[in-house]
Amino acid sequence: MNTATAAAKTMTRTWQSLCIRADLVPFSGVAAWVETTEGPAQVAIFYLPGYDTELYALDHHDPFSSANVIARGIVGDLKGQPVVASPIYKQHFRLEDGQCLEDESVTLRTWKVSFKGDEVWIEA
Amino acid sequence: MSTTSLTTKQSLIIIGNGMVGHHLVEQLVEQGATERYDIVVFGEERHLAYDRVHLSEYFSGRDAASLALSTRGYYTEHGVTLHLHAAVTGIDRERSEVITDQGRHPYNRLVLATGSTPFVPPIPGSDRENCLVYRTLDDLDAIRAAAKNATTGVVVGGGLLGLEAANALRGLDLDTAVVEFAPRLMPMQVDSEGGGLLQEKIEALGVQVLTGRVTQRIENGEASFHRMVFQDEKVLETDLIVFSAGIRPRDELARDCGLEIGERGGVVIDDRCLTSDPAILAVGEVALWNNSIFGLVAPGYQMAKAATGTLLTSSSEPQGGTFHGADMSTKLKLMGVDVGAIGDAHGDRTPGAKMFRYLDEIKQQYRKLVVSSDGRRLVGAMLVGDNSVYDTLLQYYANGLDLPEDPAALILPSSEGTPALGPDALPETAMICSCHNVTKGDIRATLDAGAVDLGTVKDSTRASTGCGGCTALLKSVVDHELEARGVKVDKSICEHFHYTRQELYDIVRVEGIKTFGELIDKHGSPDTHKLGSSSAPMLGCDICKPAVASILASCFNEPITDAAHIPLQDTNDTFMANMQKNGTYSVVPRVPGGEITPDKLVVLGRVAKKYELYTKITGGQRIDLFGARLEDLPAIWGELIEAGFETGHAYGKSLRTVKSCVGSTWCRYGVQDSVGMAIYLENRYKGLRAPHKIKFGVSGCTRECAEAQSKDVGIIATENGWNLYVCGNGGMRPRHAELLATDMDEETMVRTIDRFLMFYVRTADRLQRTSVWRENLEGGLDYIKQVVVDDSLGLGAELDSQMQTVVDNYECEWANAIKDPEKLKRFRTFINDARPDPDIIVTEERGQLRPA
Ligand SMILES: Cc1cc2nc3c(=O)[nH]c(=O)nc-3n(C[C@H](O)[C@H](O)[C@H](O)COP(=O)(O)OP(=O)(O)OC[C@H]3O[C@@H](n4cnc5c(N)ncnc54)[C@H](O)[C@@H]3O)c2cc1C
């Protein structure tokens, strides 16, 4: 996809190894440092074993409290959509696309994550 | 409204800021009278108008503030000038002025709302020290003070208020007697059969009852402060006397300025509440209408309403209606004994009246119906020992409904229960709340206008906010009407379960369900969305997951950090610490009873320094260490556990602290070892998870330095054991705890607390503190007493054994987690990097670190 005209700054997300399955907590979240195209980021990884989509990656940073805590929220579902509730002020974010359900204007960044064997890989 | 605006307002003075005087102000404000009048109120008492009807609750835990009917702010906001502690000493009708110690105040219109005063019979010695009355907050303070040095008390007068006063003396730990001049108790409300039954019941409570006694004089006693000498020269010794021999209207101002006064007192008023001087009105207990004084609050409120109309209209048919007299039917519970009197309860005012009577000497219940000579209408009724049919009878009486074929069925016990008059059978005009004049029609109108629950109906009609006698009836009417409108009240805890917390609790307990997965599998709502295409079960949410986690912990007390439970917990429970606003945690080790050794204090200081924690003493007598980073928590706890600390559950909806005073070990006043008791209780209940946090307090004497009466469970030492208070709260909505049981030995007390806590755990809603639970519990404190003290539901043994399970399975959660490397993995800030979170930035203040 890279063309000569594209600015040097435009970087493509690339798949990188992050951790192993045993580092995850089933039905809950953990936080990891990830080198993204936009620089280093704290990312929350959620693990729902046995579901259609087993892994999700969202910003660990909670924009409402400005603290890095999203991975420590409770994972659940509302109206059939998997969500995480911020542990500080309890807003819900959709795991699929990071949309905040209480405030349309707020979205967390999301990344693709998947298992490669026992390893967890992220495209960032 | 005319186009010419009034240039100057008229002056309206109200004398008396009691229940009716205040109600008048509210009515005037509501009707916009402040446009026309400058309103000035003089009240002789120090306190702003308060709920005299519930005055006795001042002795069972409520304070002046919670009895207040209003606030200074309300008066200021509506421009009503209020002078408290300012008695009016005279009325100058010629100059239209009232006189106080401060000066003279002109009026255009004047309202007397001076109430009444207890009658003290002119017996020689009735003015001795420690001869008191029962009418105001100050009176009750005086009684409480006098009771400190007394062991016995006598109430002169066995009427309604006398029995209430006797109950209060009993509550102050006095050996109590009631002396009544008539041959039976409550001669106004009950006949000799009813009176006899009442007397038996009251004597069974340990109150001595002497009827047919006329006190001749009161003199110095030998064993006690007073000696009362009766007509037959028999004597009774006592330390304290409370006179409750009837009330007299406070008509002295009216008398002195020449207004018309009734033969036996009372300011004569007409249907518009006007006295013999049309510039002056009278309302409430001071007013005499049609030769009757009305000693109840509801008729007073009706007069206030009529007076408002009179003050706002010049015509002879004022808007708000006129006063037509009032029904004096009453329903009360005296020392736990139901007494009810409706209409012509004695049947001596209705020519040709016929009676039905039912007396059960085993259950101690007496019921009497007085019907019209043709047997078609109810003209009166009398109930002792059981008021369950009162509401039904009152509706028959007040609405003139046709009696059933066989009226006796209304008072006879029947296998199907009493034929209650359903809310359906009531006519639109049926009066539901007589304090605020609310009919069934008014309630329906409110619902038609969009109200959807009881609370809204109460707010907009004020029904049941007066004397509260109609609470149950109001609820049944509202429920019925809502049902008829197809409104279903949804009490589901969230979209995943169509159950209340209490129902979920029962399911978990009865089916022995031990995990959230099993519960949602078996009992999750079938109609909510499945996740994606898979048949995988729903996940739950941040409402039901912690609620179920708490229920599972209350029932089985397995470690909350076990794999099956960890995804259910709030972050605080997951990491067993309290998350602060910058994502760091605070750590609070348990300090049972607030007692801590110097060695342990040194450890706390050392740990705080090493991990750079901010330290603060908490309100619960322990030490909070703030600013701990997630990854440091295991190391911090390693050191704390090493030194003998345990987790303090400051993060959990669970037992927090048992605060104590220093007690008899050191204190000159202490009568019991409050610290020892607090430590014992804290160790017993630590780790108990509940719908919300629970706090205890233990005081070593009645000085109450541990502030136990603001706790969920408060214990106060007495010379004979311990008094137990429950359902108090500090915080945003302070509430005094209420006395549940007195003078218990330790074993009884612990058992009572076990049952109380488990009953709360079982029946409360999620995140409902004991205070709110208590307020919403139908039957209130009495019901709690029946269940936990009298074991009325036969649940006692079960509650005991459930508590024992929790106590037996206690394990310090931190000690459990520290041993398990799998569990400790959770405490890494980042799974792929050991560096701390660089966004946590701190700054120094007063020698400690705090979030920047
Ligand atoms: C213990 C107790 C229990 C009761 N229980 C019930 C019940 O269950 N149901 C029921 O319906 N009723 C009950 N009552 C009665 C009820 O409280 C009264 O009917 C009601 O308070 C009457 O209101 P009021 O404003 O007329 O008089 P009050 O409430 O007595 O108010 C009159 C006020 O005027 C003040 N005042 C008098 N003279 C002056 C002056 N010269 N200058 C300035 N101020 C003055 C007084 O100090 C007082 O504060 C009970 C009363 C008591 C004492």
Locate the domains of chain B by residue range. 10-117+249-311, 120-245, 327-421, 423-487, 501-569, 578-808
**Ligand 1 center–CA B382 separation, angstroms:** 26
- Predicted local distance difference test score (pLDDT) of residue B389: 87
Q: Is the pLDDT of residue B420 over 90?
A: no
The pLDDT of residue B303 is: 95
User: What pLDDT is stored for residue B499 in this prediction?
Assistant: 84
- Average pLDDT of B654-673? 93
B599-622 pLDDT per residue, tens: 999 999 999 999 999 999 999 999
Output the pTM of the full model: 0.54
Within 10 angstroms of residue B540's Cβ, the number of other Cβ atoms is 28
For residue B395, pLDDT beyond 60: yes
To test the pocket of ligand 1, the residue of B296, B303, B471 to mutate (highest count of ligand atoms within 8 Å of its CB) is B296
- 3-state secondary structure (DSSP) of residue B312: helix
**CB–CB of A42 and B531 under 8 A?**
no
Residue B220: its pLDDT value, please? 95
Q: Is B667 annotated as a binding residue?
A: yes
- In this prediction, residue B490 carries a pLDDT of 66
Q: Is the pLDDT of residue B736 over 90?
A: yes
Q: Which residues line ligand 1 (CB under 6 A)?
A: B 15-21, 42-45, 52-53, 55-56, 87-88, 113-115, 134-135, 161, 164, 250, 253, 284-285, 295-298, 300, 332, 467
**Is B536 in CB contact (< 8 Å) with chain A?**
yes
Cα(A113)–Cα(A95) distance, rounded to whole angstroms?
A: 12
- Mean predicted lDDT score pLDDT of chain B: 90
User: pLDDT tens-digit profile of B72-110?
Assistant: 999 999 999 999 999 999 999 999 999 999 999 999 999
- At residue A6, the pLDDT reads 38
Closest-CA residue, ligand 1 atom 29, reads B18
Nearest CB to A90: which of B540, B542, B575? B542
- Test site for ligand 1: of B42, B44, B83, B117, most ligand atoms within 8 A of the Cβ: B44
Q: Is residue B389 packed enough to be buried (19+ CB in 10 Å), middle (13-18) or exposed (0-12)?
A: buried
Radius of gyration (C-alpha) of chain A in whole angstroms: 15
What is the pLDDT confidence band of residue B482, given thresholds at 50, 70 and 90?
Answer: confident
Q: What is the pLDDT of residue A3?
A: 38
Residue in A19, A52, A65 closest to B532 by CB:
A52
Q: How far is the alpha carbon of A72 from chain B, nearest alpha carbon, in Å?
A: 6
User: Known binder of ligand: residue B727?
Assistant: no
Interface contact B583-A82, CB threshold 8 A = no
By residue count, chain B amounts to: 852
Say how many Å lie between the CA of residue B151 and the centre of ligand 1. Answer: 29
In angstroms, what separates the C-alpha of A8 from chain B's closest C-alpha?
A: 29
Separation between Cα atoms, residue B212 and residue B805, nearest integer Å: 57
More confident residue, B498 or A29: A29
The set of residues, in sequence order, having a beta carbon less than 8 Å from that of B426 and lying 6+ positions away, is B395, B399, B440, B477
Q: What's residue B418's pLDDT?
A: 46
Strand, helix or coil for residue B607: helix
- B843: enclosing H helix or E strand: strand B842-845
Q: For residues B734 and B196, which has the higher predicted lDDT (pLDDT)?
A: B196
* Domains of chain A and any CATH numbers: 21-118 (2.102.10.10)
d(CA B673, CA B661): 9
Q: In 3-state terms, what secondary structure has residue B644? A: coil
Q: At residue B553, does pLDDT exceed 80?
A: yes
Is residue B386 within 8 A of residue B360, CB to CB? The reply is: no
Tell how far CA B78 is from the center of its chain.
29
User: Residue B697: is it exposed, middle or buried by C-beta count within 10 angstroms (0-12/13-18/19+)?
Assistant: buried
Say if B8 is an interface residue toward chain A (CB within 8 Å): no
- Closest partner CB to A25 (pick from B529, B826, B839): B826
Beta bridge mates, A93: A84, A100
Backbone dihedral region for residue B750 (phi beyond 0: left; psi -120 to 50: alpha; all else: beta) = alpha
Q: Cα separation of B231 and B361, whole Å?
A: 32
Residue B1 has pLDDT above 50, yes or no: no
Cβ-based contacts under 8 A for chains A and B:
111
The more confident residue out of B763 and B92 is: B92
Under the banding of pLDDT at 50, 70 and 90, the label for residue B416 is very low
Question: Residue B546's closest chain A neighbor by CA?
Answer: A74
Contacts of B569 in chain A (CB under 8 A): 74
Following CA atoms B630, B636, B642, B645 in sequence, which dihedral angle do they give, to the nearest 10 degrees? -80
B546/A74 Cβ within 8 A? yes
Please report the pLDDT score of residue B316 as a whole number.
55
A25 touches chain B (CB under 8 A): yes
Neighboring chain B residues of A28 at a CB cutoff of 8 Å: 566-567, 574
B542 closest CB neighbour out of A19, A28, A74: A74
Higher pLDDT, B195 or B484: B195
Q: Residue B603: its pLDDT value, please?
A: 97
Q: State what percent of residues in chain B have pLDDT above 70.
A: 95
Higher pLDDT, B421 or B839: B839
Neighboring chain B residues of A85 at a CB cutoff of 8 Å? 541-542
Within 8 A of B539 by CB-CB distance, chain A residues are 27, 48, 75-77, 82
Query: Do the domains spanning B327-421 and B423-487 agree at the CATH topology level?
Result: no
Interchain CB contact of A64 with B (< 8 Å): no
Cβ–Cβ under 8 Å, residues B307 and B24: yes
Give the tens place of pLDDT for each residue, B579-606: 988 889 999 999 999 999 999 999 999 9
**Ligand 1 atom nearest to CA at B45:** 47
Contact A67 B581 (CB under 8 A): yes
What fold is seen in the domain B120-245? FAD/NAD(P)-binding domain (3.50.50)
Residue B532: per-residue pLDDT? 54
**Chain B contact for A121, CB < 8 A?**
no
B661 is in an annotated binding site: yes
3-state secondary structure of B389: coil
Q: The domain B423-487 is classified under which CATH number: 1.10.10.1100, 3.30.310.50, 3.40.1670.10, 3.40.605.10?
A: 1.10.10.1100
Contact B530 A48 (CB under 8 A): no
Lowest mean pLDDT: which of B78-92, B259-273, B447-461, B538-552? B447-461
B507 against B639, higher pLDDT = B639
Q: Kindly give the pairing relationship between strand B292-293 and strand B131-133.
A: unpaired
Q: With contacts defined as CB-CB under 8 Å, which chain B residues touch A51?
A: 531-532, 534, 536
Instruction: Identify the residue whose C-alpha is closest to ligand 1 atom 41.
Output: B88
Half-sphere exposure of B808 (CA within 13 A, CB side): 8
B839 to chain A, any CB pair closer than 8 A? The answer is yes
Helix then strand count (H, E) for chain B reads: 25, 39
Per-position b or e across B814-839, b if 16+ CB within 10 A of its CB:
bebbbeeeebbebbbbbbbeeeebee
| Residues present in chain A in total | 124
* pLDDT tens track for B274-310: 999 999 999 999 999 999 999 999 899 999 999 999 9
pLDDT(B801) > 70: yes
Q: Which residues of B, range 541-560, sit inside 8 Å of A by Cβ?
A: 541-542, 545-546
Residues of chain B neighbouring A83 (CB-CB closer than 8 A)? 541
pLDDT in tens, B189-202: 899 999 999 999 89
The predicted pLDDT at position B578 comes to 94
Burial class (CB in 10 A: 0-12, 13-18, 19+), B7: exposed
Task: Return the HEC string of B435-448.
Answer: CCCEEHHHHHHHHH
Just give the CATH number of B10-117+249-311. 3.50.50.60
- Domain B327-421: give its CATH code: 3.30.390.30
B739-763 per-residue burial string, b: 16 or more CB within 10 A, e: under 16: bbbbebeeeebbbbbbbbbbbbbbb
Instruction: Answer yes or no: is pLDDT of B448 > 70.
Output: yes
Q: Mean pLDDT highest for which of B404-408, B463-467, B711-715?
A: B711-715
B467 in a labelled binding site: no
CA-to-CA distance for B577 and B573, rounded, in angstroms?
A: 7
Chain segment B33-60, per-residue pLDDT in tens: 999 999 999 999 999 999 999 899 899 8
State the pLDDT at residue B319: 61
Interval B136-181: pLDDT, tens: 999 999 999 999 999 999 999 999 899 999 999 998 999 999 999 9
Which CATH code is given to the segment(s) B578-808? Answer: 3.30.413.10
10-residue stretch averages of pLDDT, chain A, 124 residues long: 41 87 93 91 94 94 93 92 92 95 93 94 93
With contacts defined as CB-CB under 8 Å, which chain A residues touch B531? 51-52, 77, 80, 82
Give the model's pLDDT for residue B527. 60
pLDDT of residue B198: 92
pLDDT at position B806, please?
93
